[in-house]
Amino acid sequence: MTATHAPFVDALLRARLPVIMEVKRHDGHGVELMGDRTVPEVVAEYVDAGASCLSVVTGRWFGGDDEMLREVAGLTDLPLLKKDFITRERQIVEAKEMGASAILLTARILPRKPFQKLIETTLSHGLTPFVEVAEHEEIDSVVRADECIVAVNNKDIRTQERDAGDIELSRSLLAATIKTGTPCPVSASAITDPRVAAELIAAGFKGLLIGTGLLRSESVAAWIADFERHRSEIGATVSAR
């Protein structure tokens, strides 16, 4: 029997292109990412490139707000992730009303018990917890992981993601992330090189969350084409062994 997953998880697992493409106005330093593009233009570019899901950063230090999520929800039927600091049940209810299918829960900013309670509450409202972790202790605190996306954040949220990021963190935490039982381990942030992205999928990640890397690329379509080419090359190399 095929397992049944929530819409956000299902869309990512079934996708030809396992990439969550992110709508984000600023990077951690406050530098503009969208340029002269409007939200509809960015969303259209992502949809045309084959995005499986979208992430919408509503957090203020990234230049976001809740209205942007409502706008994106009116532009596409793709499952949406609301990325912000969620600490209360009311925020979960509001995210669902805005059109989100998943919400970000960051283990690093919450005590263990409240963090676990928020996972339970998110699931009770029919949303997918997109649980962000950065070390083994945080991974161990995830409850009901089989109903969550567990994502390794390659950047440090404690510095407002102003660091360059470390892809090796994803590689080092992949086995522990899979061991939680999550159907969809994800590598998130600091993914700028299409070949590195392909290597992460080949290693065992079921999805990638990419924002700045796509928004700063000359062409989202070209970036994705490079990613798919590298996936094919890596797959062919593995098959030849």
- Evaluate whether residue 100 is within a structural domain: yes
- Evaluate whether residue 214 is within a structural domain: yes
Closest-CA residue to 83 (of 131, 47, 118): 131
- Evaluate whether residue 17 is within a structural domain: yes
- Evaluate whether residue 75 is within a structural domain: yes
Residue 196 maps to which CATH number? 3.20.20.70
Q: What is the DSSP letter of 234?
A: H
Check pLDDT > 70 for residue 239: no
Could you tell me the CA-to-CA distances from 240 to 172, 194, 233, 236, 237 in Å, in that order?
26, 22, 11, 6, 5
Mean pLDDT of 189-204: 97
- Evaluate whether residue 93 is within a structural domain: yes
Mean pLDDT of 225-241: 85
- Residue-wise pLDDT for 2-59, tens only, equals 457 899 999 999 999 999 999 999 988 889 999 999 999 999 999 999 999 999 999 9
- Residue-wise pLDDT for 129-139, tens only, equals 999 999 999 99
Q: Domain residues for 183?
A: 7-240
Per-residue pLDDT at 238: 65
User: From CA 14, how far away is CA 196, in angstroms rounded?
Assistant: 21
Per-residue pLDDT at 156: 78
- Evaluate whether residue 2 is within a structural domain: no
- Evaluate whether residue 1 is within a structural domain: no
User: From CA 226, how far away is CA 192, in angstroms rounded?
Assistant: 12
Check pLDDT > 90 for residue 222: yes
Mean pLDDT of 110-122: 97
Per-residue pLDDT at 2: 44
Q: What is the percent of the chain where pLDDT is above 70?
A: 94
pTM for this one? Answer: 0.94
For the chain, the domain total comes to 1
